Structure 1
Amino acid sequence: MIVAPDRFRGSLTALEVAARLTAGLRAARPDVPVVSIPVADGGEGTVAALVASGYAGLQTNVTGPVGNPVVASFAMRGAEAVIELAEASGLRRLPGRATAATAMSATSVGTGELIRTAVMRGARRVVLGLGGSACTDGGAGMLTALGAKLLDANGRPVQPGGAALRRLARIDTRELLRVPVVVASDVDNPLLGQRGAAQIFGPQKGAGPREIEALEAGLARFSEIARRDLGVDEADSRGAGAAGGVGFAALAFLGATIRPGIEIILEQLDFAQALSGARLVITGEGSIDEQTLYGKAPIGVARAAWRAEVPVVAVSGRLSIDRDMLRRFGIDNAYALTDLEHDPQVCLTHAGPLLEQLAQGIAAAHLDRPLARNIH
């Protein structure tokens, strides 16, 4: 049996969820081997999941989203590094809460510092997981950390943050450190417009209407100068708006490709090989809802398991989507902590014991009978 959950946001990490499920399964069926493979979709928890699977975990000091020093981790195996933007430039790295001021000035420079450090440690390919960013700077900070110069009309470096890009006059990439990059992201938004980085994701980073307008103008200027000076035009590309526009910088300046995060991470975890001989896969995340169907970790796990003809069940803190719909996406059944405890706050604070109880019920219900398969 394979246990392959993502994190329960605000409650447990993917490693903790997997440990609790494993404990419950072993309590119910000590005769059945359980393989724990915590997963992630490129956002928070990606590095931890890979380190748990055997990657080397490394740490370095980098610049946080508002200039604050932070210690950030990345993972390496051979000449490949996996970097999680949220480790260096995520909302959780803000020294306080997100505000209008931090929305305007937050930078991705720490992410670029992580990439540079990984290359210095021998990385020849980088998987860059995008998600949970505090910045809307189009990846400008990341590029400056990699050696690019973003200059104003007086030849001075523009200040950090998306709003300052309104003063951008010239881009010099002669000293830019280039390394093959694959972006892991399930975001398909463009850089600009109603579905763009500022309009869609700005509010969750503290931006109000005035800040969104300024950030949109900065990103538009960045795109315009990149097109004029470098001949690159990626603003409308799928995923350019990911992580406040870091997707744009990766595409336009680093020649990156973008793929669904969970697909990349499952490849890194050798998940297809682990499925050989498995009787059941248990996946899940904190909330299984409509968003889950758009490439989130449980769906990626289910698709991989379907190809190997292994049945899948999912667990979550709460379930707000019809189980019949989930079956169409390869999840044979789904269980929520709210099935056991109706108080959502108790589910958050006592998720661990509830998951163990849920796992015991899953063992009783599914290990002794096959499940019907159906997938779109």
Structure 2
Amino acid sequence: MTRVVIAPDSFKGTITAADAAAAIARGWLTADSTADIVLRPMADGGEGTVSAFAAAVTGSRRMPLTVDGPAGVPVATDWLLLPASDDAPNGTAVIDLASTSGIELLDELRPFGAHSRGFGQAIAAALDHGVSRLVLGIGSSASTDGGIGMLSALGARFLDVEGIEVESGARGLLRVAHADLSELRAAPEILVLSDVTNPFTGPRGAAHVFGPQKGLVDAADRDGVDAALVRLAELLELDASTSGAGAAGGVGGALVAWGARLVPGAGEVARLISLASEVSAADVVITGEGSYDGQSGDGKVPSFVAALAADADVPALIVAGRITDDADRALFAASASLTELAGSADAALADPARWLTAAGTVLAETRTERARASRSVDFRAD
């Protein structure tokens, strides 16, 4: 019996990591019906973080709530409660920014109006529940508000020169002159999952690097927001050069100021779902993501999973929406591209579950064919 661990990331904007893993499993079982399948959907702190933990951790519970979305429109979402443990006796809350204040929740980019308040409201709900620890994924932010929306939902007040509380979003950030943190809620243990190393401010900071993705296309606008972030860092007593503080439009820095610890997303998710032990007991490991390309290096899920598999001397395979010419194929024994299987990117995007299932079958058949060709041929060799 073949033991297959399936640990993909989400295929951003098309299918969650949990659904992708299930689809690949269905395909593999079509060709190898006796396989022992272990689903360990992964995340690096972005879209699908909550779903990855929900699929991997027995006894976890989704806790529904409604928050103010990034444009102020109510969003029905949830946070995840993990069971109590020795190091978190009242349980751990897993919350991702993508499902509360994420860019996918916008109907159009709102560079000055979008905010992170909903993320803070979800955190507040978890604190009200009494959790011992927060695990926060901060990928896919819709705003560059420096985290003032989130901190406001947790009790902080940000005031203009006249002492009037500013609105959330970059528009409010530009007017911040004072920060009243006297009512800011006490922070429990907080782990922030992110693969971003950018500082809070400067040419590599939140406004200049990530602002354009959120609508800050004018250089003067980015300069203005960056100057406002410099001022905010002083008010929060935050070292603006902190690695990762620029993540999520500055939410990373606001969380550091609150007492959080920034950790590499994929590695921490893997630790919390015991991925390494599952990989070490496997015969084959499958990972994947939407686009496997030259940027899928350190910190991304496929390269991280491939490294775990190499350490355990287990062959790793990859499924991706597309695989570009500059991708490092040497990490994997075999690969499957949904675009190639479907015939076009549009066809693959229209029905990702179908083509992920097909990819699972192709990879299982490839393994079987290679084993039949010669028992002396190691499947890991291309």
Q: Under a length normalisation based on structure 1, what TM-score does the superposition of the two structures give? A: 0.90
1:198 aligned to which of 187, 194, 207: 207
Question: Are the equivalent residues in 2 in contact too, given 1:116–1:146 (CA < 8 A)?
Answer: yes
Residue type at the aligned position of 2:48: G
| 1:128 and 2:132 correspond | no
Residue type at the aligned position of 2:227: A
Residue type at the aligned position of 1:211: D
* Helix, strand or coil at the partner of 2:174: helix
Give the whole-Å Cα distance in 1 for the aligned partners of 2:254 and 2:332. 36
| 1:362 and 2:355 correspond | no
Displacement after TM superposition at 1:40 (Å): 1.3
Identify unmatched segments of 5+ residues in structure 2: 85-90, 372-376
Question: Bigger CA drift: 280-289 or 2-11?
Answer: 2-11
* Helix, strand or coil at the partner of 1:313: strand
Give the whole-Å Cα distance in 2 for the aligned partners of 1:29 and 1:372. 18
Question: Are the equivalent residues in 2 in contact too, given 1:162–1:219 (CA < 8 A)?
Answer: no
Question: Are the equivalent residues in 2 in contact too, given 1:126–1:180 (CA < 8 A)?
Answer: yes
* Helix, strand or coil at the partner of 2:183: coil
Give the whole-Å Cα distance in 2 for the aligned partners of 1:322 and 1:280. 24
1:289 aligned to which of 272, 288, 293: 293
* Helix, strand or coil at the partner of 1:59: strand
Question: Are the equivalent residues in 1 in contact too, given 2:335–2:363 (CA < 8 A)?
Answer: no
Displacement after TM superposition at 1:372 (Å): 4.0
1:250 matched residue in structure 2: 255
Q: CA 1:322 to 1:58, structure 2 compared with 1: closer, same or farther past 3 Å? A: same
| 1:182 and 2:191 correspond | yes
Question: Are the equivalent residues in 1 in contact too, given 2:246–2:252 (CA < 8 A)?
Answer: yes
| 1:224 and 2:234 correspond | yes
Give the whole-Å Cα distance in 2 for the aligned partners of 1:354 and 1:215. 42
Q: CA 1:373 to 1:296, structure 2 compared with 1: closer, same or farther past 3 Å? A: farther
Question: Bigger CA drift: 129-138 or 60-69?
Answer: 60-69
Question: Are the equivalent residues in 1 in contact too, given 2:24–2:356 (CA < 8 A)?
Answer: yes
Displacement after TM superposition at 1:214 (Å): 2.9
1:85 matched residue in structure 2: 97
Question: Are the equivalent residues in 2 in contact too, given 1:3–1:281 (CA < 8 A)?
Answer: yes
1:38 matched residue in structure 2: 41
* 1:1-376 aligned within 5 A: 1-53=4-56, 54=58, 55-77=60-82, 78=84, 79-94=91-106, 96-98=107-109, 102-177=110-185, 178-209=187-218, 210-226=220-236, 232-252=237-257, 254-322=258-326, 325-327=328-330, 330-366=331-367, 368=371, 370-372=378-380
Displacement after TM superposition at 1:250 (Å): 0.9
Q: Under a length normalisation based on structure 2, what TM-score does the superposition of the two structures give? A: 0.89
Identical aligned pairs, as a percentage? 39
Displacement after TM superposition at 1:373 (Å): 8.1
Q: CA 1:225 to 1:322, structure 2 compared with 1: closer, same or farther past 3 Å? A: closer
Q: CA RMSD of the aligned region, Å?
A: 1.9
* Helix, strand or coil at the partner of 1:293: coil
| TM-superposition CA deviations, 1:117-170 (whole Å, max 9, x none) | 101112111111011111111111111111112222222212211232232222
Displacement after TM superposition at 1:266 (Å): 1.2
| Number of aligned residue pairs | 361
Give the whole-Å Cα distance in 2 for the aligned partners of 1:308 and 1:358. 24
